[in-house]
Structure 1
């Protein structure tokens, strides 16, 4: 006699066979905390100027060698749901202020590590969350009082370079002064004279292999890694016509049949088409145009007439490049071959073909006195990986400048701000009644993770450095004392011009705290049964290979 075996009692009986259910401190909370701690430990060694590089091979087998936490977590494709929450918080910080991803990861990891200690001591999850929420609000209040400096003039290149130096040093230590000056020049040169509206997309970068980082330069205009199509390779005082269509005779919409009886008729037929196309080209030349940019192909006939009338012709395959060029030269992209009006014509001081290393480039350059809407940084380096890191450093610098157009306040760097916050929050925790005070004090201790990571990655003793920092902040009352990663010991971050953006720090603390609290609020993990269906067959060799081929 057959009989049905009853399912396991409780929640499991409501789920399909194969579903997974974890609950409680041991199964859910501690598992999630462990995953987030492992993620934070992975990126912590990449924090600061002396951060180590990670070698990441993504799902497409592309190799990345970088210490940029945003790139590492993006290419790793983290799948653990709890760790993904922390990753999303760091990505939100990247979107909001363009920097601070690693800070969010390691600070959230430290908060969760200390939360685990409190839970094992016997505190309940709501008490830890309440303490963290109070401490987070207090930290953001104290942060306002730690502002030591402001970027007074965003059009002063030297002052802007000083404020960008710290953000760039974390990616390109040793080249920060050169790169900060280069990026400051680029950002200030495209800042509109009447407002502080700044678009990060207007600072372009093009990577050309070979040479050293010191060979990088700024071009007021745009650079394309292409060759020009015709014989003319340089035009000064360029009047540019931009077309989104091919430089060729447009095909008619209706089809027709032509009966040709002899060679003379064939010659006259093709001659008529040539004459019509030459008429178009002559109209363009008569309007003062000496350079043509097209988004489509250039026909042999078009090339012939371009050379005949001494027109420089450049082909761009990307419609986005075409749009950016329109913004740079203040021209309009025309959909068909007609002579542009004066308002549709683009202008720049010179268009020329040049060689950088062994790469041929076309440079659209505006005179420095004429303000360009777009500028390009030509980045040089010995390997592709160094160039990719250079590009990320440029992105960080440009995003920090964007932040300064919203908020110009700066706080001391080198871990000084975190130690001062930690000291004041620990004092605040001692004055609070209830068990939440332990969570508030642990929040203060979690902020030590920044100076500890800086010291550890620089080969110093983290415990000794943190003790010296607390002593200096307690005795001198100077909130600007931070970690000296060169000599060991402490230094005055303000005097050493090591500054962090207030807004980056504000969003970093806020998002890391929210991420940690969100992870702690999870007390059950329910995983439905994976979808069924046949699995893809395993096949040797390439998928497009014929089975009969040997």
Structure 2
């Protein structure tokens, strides 16, 4: 056709600018209340369906509950790390759940055991009474520490290291539950969940530094014993989504779907606008950009038309992956959009077209906008490269000269 790469790149950039100009007019809804469970579920379904087609309702319900529970007053500050994912083999995806009596919790970042000095000491014991007295002093010190915790109303002790036998004995005596949590990251999340302040040494912290939780219990799930910290209220700082499945690969697939849904919610906190999904927005953009290209007088019009043609790739792939005749379906979609049905998308169940907005199939406005912008930038950057030089290690040629052999007569000479 005789177009230079620079002209093609200019046409792509012109088409991308036009697409970004059109997109605000295609917005169908906006997430105004991210604490509305039913609204959040609708916006998360599309992200989940791409990974888990049969279980989108179950997973959307779990993720929506977890997100709504942990979203702060200013939703812009929502942190995806406040939602943890726990995977356990056994049962099915439908057995997955979201975890949330009033227990006071003391958290320690040190082992719950007797401390030992770096230097060794020697104790001279001359009789049995001195031996009994030595051990008794140690026991009384440990008991006083555990009793101090019990007097402050502590029912659960969480420590980052091992529990000593002597401490375990007195914890049992005062009916205090001990939980070992070796991960410092999990320890921080637990502190955020229960509102506790971690202590660096064994002591009886004041009540205002203790955490609170509705119930703490050990539960057997599958063949694993897990410790559950559960808050029965609807709000919390951290939530855990427990994923069940018959195989590890199945659980991993569900985890990826959950991760996509959580990040979709995060994107909605930044920009709540959504576009019709199911290929509707791509077809409408392709139609309007092609009409725009027809009106452009320069050579860029050919690149603009090819840009519009490239946008039809996504609905074409959806149709082919669903076993439909892509050519026939694209013809129906183009006819519907020409008739003014901007939200017309692909219905993979009926092998026909449908209104994507009415069926709650949405795409993120922010995600679609960035995808078009970055893809155009990448294509334009490659087209604007004048020359590519492939760097590789040189092979062949003369070998470098080695050190010259020393003359025998030179030995010992400086």
1:208 to 2:71 alignment = no
SS in structure 1 opposite 2:137?
helix
TM-superposition CA deviations, 1:266-289 (whole Å, max 9, x none)? 332222222211111111111111
Of 284, 305, 315, the residue aligned with 1:451 is 315
Q: Paired residues, what number?
A: 395
SS in structure 1 opposite 2:53?
coil
Q: Hey, what's the Cα distance between the residues in 2 that align with 1:504 and 1:194? A: 22
In the TM superposition, what are the counterparts of 1:130-149 in structure 2 within 5 Å? 130-149=10-29
Question: Which residue is equivalent to 2:266?
Answer: 402
Determine which structure has more spread, i.e. the larger CA radius of gyration.
Answer: 2
SS in structure 2 opposite 1:333?
coil
1:354 to 2:354 alignment = no
Q: Hey, what's the Cα distance between the residues in 1 that align with 2:313 and 2:353? A: 16
TM-score normalised to structure 2 length? 0.92
1:526 to 2:386 alignment = no
Once the two structures are TM-superposed, the CA of residue 428 in structure 1 deviates from its matched residue by 0.9
Once the two structures are TM-superposed, the CA of residue 342 in structure 1 deviates from its matched residue by 1.8
Q: Hey, what's the Cα distance between the residues in 2 that align with 1:158 and 1:413? A: 18
Q: Hey, what's the Cα distance between the residues in 2 that align with 1:161 and 1:341? A: 42
Q: Hey, what's the Cα distance between the residues in 2 that align with 1:529 and 1:172? A: 44
Question: Which residue is equivalent to 2:324?
Answer: 460
Question: Which residue is equivalent to 2:115?
Answer: 250
Question: Which residue is equivalent to 1:374?
Answer: 238
In structure 2, list runs of 5 or more residues that go unmatched. 396-414
Question: Which residue is equivalent to 2:252?
Answer: 388
Once the two structures are TM-superposed, the CA of residue 314 in structure 1 deviates from its matched residue by 0.4
1:313 to 2:178 alignment = yes
Once the two structures are TM-superposed, the CA of residue 185 in structure 1 deviates from its matched residue by 1.2
TM-superposition CA deviations, 1:168-208 (whole Å, max 9, x none)? 11111021112112211111112224654211111111111
Once the two structures are TM-superposed, the CA of residue 254 in structure 1 deviates from its matched residue by 4.3
In structure 1, list runs of 5 or more residues that go unmatched. 1-120, 221-235, 533-550
1:423 to 2:287 alignment = yes
Once the two structures are TM-superposed, the CA of residue 486 in structure 1 deviates from its matched residue by 1.3
Question: Which residue is equivalent to 2:146?
Answer: 281
Question: Which residue is equivalent to 1:183?
Answer: 63
1:323 to 2:158 alignment = no
Q: Is the 8 A contact 2:90 2:222 kept in 1?
A: yes
Q: Hey, what's the Cα distance between the residues in 2 that align with 1:332 and 1:530? A: 57
SS in structure 2 opposite 1:214?
helix
Once the two structures are TM-superposed, the CA of residue 429 in structure 1 deviates from its matched residue by 1.0
Question: Which residue is equivalent to 2:275?
Answer: 411
Question: Which residue is equivalent to 1:472?
Answer: 336
SS in structure 2 opposite 1:438?
helix
TM-superposition CA deviations, 1:94-120 (whole Å, max 9, x none)? xxxxxxxxxxxxxxxxxxxxxxxxxxx
Question: Which residue is equivalent to 1:485?
Answer: 348
Once the two structures are TM-superposed, the CA of residue 489 in structure 1 deviates from its matched residue by 2.1
TM-superposition CA deviations, 1:1-43 (whole Å, max 9, x none)? xxxxxxxxxxxxxxxxxxxxxxxxxxxxxxxxxxxxxxxxxxx
Q: Hey, what's the Cα distance between the residues in 2 that align with 1:152 and 1:494? A: 16
Q: Hey, what's the Cα distance between the residues in 1 that align with 2:35 and 2:247? A: 34
In the TM superposition, what are the counterparts of 1:429-448 in structure 2 within 5 Å? 429-448=293-312
Of 173, 188, 201, the residue aligned with 1:336 is 201
Q: Hey, what's the Cα distance between the residues in 2 that align with 1:340 and 1:263? A: 37
TM-superposition CA deviations, 1:316-338 (whole Å, max 9, x none)? 11110000000000001111001
Question: Which residue is equivalent to 1:231?
Answer: none
Q: Is the 8 A contact 2:108 2:201 kept in 1?
A: yes
Q: Hey, what's the Cα distance between the residues in 2 that align with 1:514 and 1:460? A: 33
Once the two structures are TM-superposed, the CA of residue 522 in structure 1 deviates from its matched residue by 2.9
